[in-house]
């Protein structure tokens, strides 16, 4: 199974997937890592693991269509596209092309707190429990069918940094798990629901 991973920055979720493959837990190959920004840690992590890595700098493209066309050039052989901290909204056309084989991880318990500032929004609202969600991507924002979630307690003295660090520990567990389920053919999408087969 051939994976492509799209990132925008640090790439710790990417690293958790690389590590899971290297430990032999996940039987898949990362064909390419693509970032939308130059000089980000995700590119270094891919290079260090010997994975082809490409920056498709959004700043060099006047439209989202052209930007996505460039990304698509690298995805013709790919079975599963994984968004790992990729901070851009993909077009409905792109999403349709990879329907059922495009995954994202979001740092809250969806459908609560979608969007780009989940931890800030969680703390401002005052919820006692947050977490992370792996889901298939549909044409909405953070709205697709949910594959796995993990909950994390929100502490009174949490900051965005402390909460994010604890949520990331869970992200690094459930993202490789969700990908493994996909690779093993154990995920069945039925409307809004994702059934996990035995």
Question: Annotated catalytic sites, by residue?
Answer: 106
Q: Two tokens at 195?
A: 């059934």
CA distances from 65 to 55, 71, 102, 175 (A): 16, 10, 18, 28
Q: How far apart are CA 29 and CA 162, in angstroms?
A: 32
Output 116 or 196, the one with its CB closest to ligand GAR: 116
Residue at shortest CB range from ligand GAR: 85
Output 78 or 82, the one with its CB closest to ligand GAR: 82
The answer to whether residues 60 and 30 touch, using CB atoms and an 8 Å cutoff, is no
CB of residue 198 vs ligand GAR: minimum separation in angstroms? 28
Output 35 or 75, the one with its CB closest to ligand GAR: 35
CB of residue 76 vs ligand GAR: minimum separation in angstroms? 25
CB of residue 15 vs ligand GAR: minimum separation in angstroms? 7
Phi, psi of 12 (to 5 degrees): -75, -30
CB of residue 84 vs ligand GAR: minimum separation in angstroms? 5
- Taking phi first (over 0 means left), then psi (-120 to 50 degrees means alpha), and beta for anything else, what does residue 2 get? beta
Output 12 or 74, the one with its CB closest to ligand GAR: 12
Residues that bind ligand GAR (CB under 6 A): 7, 9-14, 84-85, 105-107, 116, 118, 168, 171
The answer to whether residues 4 and 102 touch, using CB atoms and an 8 Å cutoff, is no
């Amino acid at each position: 199974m051939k994976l492509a991973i799209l990132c925008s920055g640090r790439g710790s979720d990417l690293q958790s997937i690389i590590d899971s493959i290297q430990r032999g837990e996940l039987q898949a190959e990362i064909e390419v890592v693509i970032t939308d920004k130059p000089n980000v840690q995700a590119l270094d992590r891919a290079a260090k693991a010997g994975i082809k890595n490409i920056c498709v700098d959004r700043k060099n493209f006047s439209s989202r269509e052209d930007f996505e066309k460039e990304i698509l050039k690298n995805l013709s052989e790919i079975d599963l596209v994984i968004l790992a901290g990729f901070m851009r909204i993909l077009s409905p056309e792109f999403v349709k092309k990879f329907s059922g084989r495009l995954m994202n991880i979001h740092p809250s318990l969806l459908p609560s707190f979608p969007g780009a500032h989940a931890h800030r929004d969680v703390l401002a609202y005052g919820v006692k429990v947050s977490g992370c969600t792996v889901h298939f991507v549909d044409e909405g924002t953070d709205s697709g069918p949910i594959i796995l979630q993990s909950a994390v307690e929100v502490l009174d003295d949490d900051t965005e940094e402390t909460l994010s660090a604890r949520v990331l520990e869970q992200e690094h567990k459930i993202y490789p798990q969700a990908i493994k389920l996909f690779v093993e053919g154990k995920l069945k999408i039925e409307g809004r629901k994702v059934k996990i087969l035995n």
